[in-house]
Structure 1
Amino acid sequence: MKLRDEMPEFVGVTEWVNGSVTKEELRGSPVLVHFWAISCHLCKESLPMLNEWREKYKDHGLKIVGVHMPRSEKDTEIGPVKETIAQYNLQHPIAIDNQHAVTDAFENQYVPAFYLFDQDLKLRHFQAGEKGLKLVQRRLHRILGIEETEA
C-alpha cells in the first residue's frame, strides 16, 4: 500500500475474535490495523502497547483492528491464537487470516506491521517491526490532534 491509499475491505477472514468489523463501520474514526503472528516474539512484545493505546486514545475515537497473519502451518491452529488473545487481554476485533486474504489486500509482508488510517480511511503511516512503535505513536498523535506534551 502507498500513503493515502484507502483501507481495503476485510475479506476472506477465517474467523473473527472479539467481534467482526467492516470498513464502513470504521469510517469516521482513525484506525490502527496491526498485523501479528503467535510465532513472532516481537509481535508479542508489542501487544501490551496496543492495549495501552486502546484505553488511552478511546476518547479520541481510535479504533484498533488486529490481523493474525500466520507465518507457518502451525500458526494456522486457531486454538493457540485464541489462547494468546486471551493471555494478552486483547479486546479489539481480531481477524484470523489463515488464507492471507486480508494480508494480500493490504499488500503486507511483515509482522509486526502497523497501518495507521485517518478518519477518511486513508493510509497516513506504515511501520514494520516492534522498534517503530514510537514513530507510530507520534503519527497517531498527529492524526488524533494530540499535542506531544499531552501524551
Structure 2
Amino acid sequence: MRLREQMPEFQGVTEWANGETSKSELSGRPVLVHFWAVSCYMCKESLPLLNEWRDKYGEQYNLQIVGVHMPRSEKDTDLETVRSTIEQYGMKHPIAIDNDHAVTDSYQNEYVPAYYLFDAEGQMRFFGAGEKAIGMVEQRLHKILGPKEEA
C-alpha cells in the first residue's frame, strides 16, 4: 500500500476475536492496524505497548486499534493458540484472525510486526514493519491525533 491510499475492507477473515469491526464502523476515527503472529517474539514484545495506546489514545482521541493475526506457518493457524495468546496479553481490541491471508493480501503486507496508521478520513499516513517500527508509530500517532483535548 502507498501513503494516502484508503483503508481496505476487512474481508475474508477466518474468525474475529473481541468483536468484529468494519471499515464503515471505523469511519471518522484514526485507526492503527497491527499485523502480528503468535510465533513472532517481536510481535509479542510490542503487545503491551499497543494495549497502552489503545487505552490512552482510544479514550482521549477515539483511536481504534485493530489487530490482524497473520500466520507465518501452518502451526500459527491453530485458533486455540491464537485465542490463548490474545487472552494472555490482554488484547481487548478487535482482532481479525486471517488464516487465509485475505486481509493480509488486501494490505499487500508481507511482514510481522507491521503497523498501518490511518487518519480519520481513512487515508494511510504511516507504514512501518519490523523491530524498529514500533518506535516510529507513536510519533506518527501524535501527528494525526493533533493537540490534546482539555478536559
Q: TM-score, normalised by structure 2?
A: 0.96
User: Once the two structures are superposed, what CA deviation does each residue of 1:44-64 show, in whole Å capped at 9, x if it has no partner?
Assistant: 000001000011101211000
Aligned residues: 147
Q: Distance in 1 between matches of 2:147 and 2:69?
A: 29
Instruction: Quote the Cα distance in structure 2 between the aligned partners of 1:68 and 1:40.
Output: 11
Contact 1:46 1:130 survives alignment (8 Å): no
The equivalent residue for 1:140 is: 141
- 3-state secondary structure, aligned to 1:71: coil
Among all aligned residue pairs of Structure 1 and Structure 2, give the percentage whose two residues are the same amino acid: 64
Instruction: Name the structure 1 match of 2:124.
Output: 123
- Letter of the aligned partner of 2:6 in structure 1? E
CA deviations 1:45-104 (Å, max 9, x no partner) are 000010000111012110000000000000000000000000000000000000000000
RMSD (Å), alpha carbons: 0.8
Q: Distance in 1 between matches of 2:147 and 2:77?
A: 38
CA contact (8 A) 1:36 1:113 kept: yes
Which residue of the partner structure matches residue 50 of structure 1?
50
Q: Could you tell me which amino acid in structure 2 is paired with residue 71 of structure 1?
A: R
Structure 2 matches for 1:8-27, cutoff 5 A? 8-27=8-27
Q: Matches of 2:56 and 2:130 in 1, distance apart?
A: 22
Tell which deviates more after alignment, 131-140 or 5-14: 131-140
Deviation at 1:123, TM superposition (A): 0.3
Residue type matched to 1:114 in 2?
Y
Q: Is the 8 A contact 1:68 1:94 kept in 2?
A: yes
Paired residue for 1:75?
76
Structure 2 stretches lacking a partner, 5+ long: none
